[in-house]
Amino acid sequence: MRKKRSKVWRELIEGKNVQGERIAKCVHCNSILSAHRDSGTSHLKRHLERCANRPLGLTFEEDSDEENFVFDMNELRKVILNFIVKGDHSFTMVEEQGFRRMMKRATPKFKPFGRAITKRFIEGLYDRILSITVDNATYNDAMISCLKRRLVPRGGLSCGETLFHVRCCAHIINLIVQKGLTCVSGILDKIRSFISHASFQSYIPLEDEWEKVSVIHNFLELFYEVTCMFSAVNYPTSNVYFKGAWIVHRHLLEAEKGPYDYLKEMVKPMLEKFDKYWSDYNFYLSCAAILDPRYKVKFVEYFFSKLYGSVEVSRRINLVLGTMKSMFEDYKLQYASSSPIVVAPSPPSTSGARNYFDDYDHFVGTSARSQVGKSQLEMYLDDDALDLNSQLDILEFWHQSSVRYLVVSKMARDLLTIPVSTVASESAFSIGGKIVSASRSSLKSKTIQALVCMQDWHRDSNQVEVDSELEDEIIEEEENDDADPFY
């Protein structure tokens, strides 16, 4: 049965009389009306408007969204772009016949476009890039260099290159642990062989070897806990990562001074790997920790003081604060002009009471003198820190503090939400995961067979016209572009 488009059918019941003619029964007064297709619905609407049993206040006005809807191809392209990026789909998806048929059926005004236009829309996001988090693979270093050369001339990277390359914390911890395990590979190989060949007594570790394994297990347990925190699927805000990096560093230094010689030998290459990637705890991690109102500078200074001398602590703190001040100046240029300035009207004064408050201005000036000339960042750093163990939604805190610290809140919004681990997202980019996902592996064999057959039937040579002139223009422009061809 064809779907009824008119809203009058919300208050009418369609049926047939004894002669087989279509009728409509009013739900309010049970009146029988003609419902022939050629009759339209005007008479049905007039009846409902005059129906004595119909509740007052009911109207047939069309929804404003439907009346005022205007098709915007550019907005639709943005939605499609968002779909491609979030789902990790290929740019060529917009050229697939099935996708174009679906869009044509959904909105006949849809104008097909190709991968070149899709790529151009994505390039429009350059000015929104703050940093990129990657693992430590060599090809990623080459990719980061290409991105920098392409983004910096376009005015991207709001914080310059200081925070652009964030190394995956979980991957670094894995590198540190793997480096240490190479020193005890003999014992580990023996245990693996013993498990695989339980009947071979020659593989059974000696008592002192079991003791070493127990000590190493306890030593590595902390790395497991920190890795779980770093690679959580629901990422915590980045202010917690500084504490995790510090715990790992302190743990390594304590083991280096411990009583076990074999553990000291194991820790030495681990510390070298730690210093290679986290020697300064990454400026980004330190900045994110300072933007936590429970931590601030004293928190970072406290951790550094447990590891270094006073001179080295001062050097590291100055480096971090210098980075934050430089970022603050960049953000101030972007947002300071939008900061609202509220001027309260002066109430009428009375001459009789005026003399009683002559020294009030002097009192206020003395109290606020220390704040004169200070930036929002300096004022935030000078404020007392919150209780260290208090439960705090840090993003909500900065949302509420945006009135007082507009520019600093923008910094916090960007820095605290940057992921410093790529582990949880690796499954989204894994080809193997997409081939045999949990959803696909649960399909019945008949369903899979039907899908394969249906896919084969729908593959044909029908082509959909695209804006070829615009596509050719963009492709020609890119061929003449001197930028790095890393796409």
487 residues of the chain, pLDDT tens digit each = 455 567 788 888 888 888 888 888 898 888 888 887 777 788 888 888 888 878 765 665 544 444 456 778 888 887 887 787 777 677 778 888 888 888 888 877 888 877 776 666 666 666 666 677 767 666 677 777 777 777 666 655 555 555 555 677 777 888 888 888 888 777 777 777 766 665 666 667 677 778 888 888 889 888 888 887 777 655 567 777 778 888 888 899 888 888 888 888 888 888 888 887 776 556 667 888 889 898 888 888 888 887 778 888 888 888 888 888 888 888 888 775 554 433 334 444 444 444 544 554 554 444 444 555 678 888 999 888 888 888 888 888 898 888 888 888 888 888 887 777 766 544 433 434 444 455 556 667 777 777 676 666 655 444 445 555 555 655 565 555 544 443 3
Q: Flag whether 50 is in a domain.
A: yes
Write out the residue range of the structural domain in which residue 24 sits: 7-63
Q: Flag whether 43 is in a domain.
A: yes
Q: Flag whether 52 is in a domain.
A: yes
Domain count, the chain: 1
Long-range contacts of residues 266-274, Cβ cutoff 8 Å, at least 24 apart? 266/180, 266/181, 266/183, 266/184, 266/216, 267/180, 269/179, 269/180, 269/182, 269/183, 270/176, 270/177, 270/179, 270/180, 272/179, 273/172, 273/175, 273/176, 273/179, 274/172, 274/176, 274/248, 274/249
Nearest partner of 37 among 18, 22, 19, judged by Cα: 22
| Token pair for 257 | 């001074």
Q: What per-residue confidence (pLDDT) applies to 196?
A: 66
Q: Flag whether 127 is in a domain.
A: no
Are 297 and 381 in contact by the 8 Å Cβ rule? The answer is yes
Distance separating alpha carbons of residues 64 and 93, to the nearest angstrom: 34
Residue 267: CB atoms within 10 A of its CB come to 25
Q: What per-residue confidence (pLDDT) applies to 457?
A: 63
Are 328 and 291 in contact by the 8 Å Cβ rule? The answer is no
Are 16 and 22 in contact by the 8 Å Cβ rule? The answer is yes
State the pTM of this model.
0.54
Q: Flag whether 58 is in a domain.
A: yes
Task: Report residue 164: phi and psi, to 5°.
Answer: -65, -45
Q: Flag whether 147 is in a domain.
A: no
Q: What per-residue confidence (pLDDT) applies to 67?
A: 47
Distance separating alpha carbons of residues 254 and 275, to the nearest angstrom: 15
Instruction: Print burial letters for 107-138: b (CB count within 10 Å at least 16), e (below 16).
Output: eeebebbbbbbbeebeeeeeeeebbbbbbeee
Q: Flag whether 35 is in a domain.
A: yes
Distance separating alpha carbons of residues 426 and 115, to the nearest angstrom: 25
Q: What per-residue confidence (pLDDT) applies to 433?
A: 43
Q: What per-residue confidence (pLDDT) applies to 118?
A: 66
Q: Flag whether 444 is in a domain.
A: no
Are 407 and 287 in contact by the 8 Å Cβ rule? The answer is no
Are 34 and 24 in contact by the 8 Å Cβ rule? The answer is yes
**What's the sign of the alpha-carbon dihedral 285, 286, 287, 293?**
positive
Q: What per-residue confidence (pLDDT) applies to 245?
A: 82
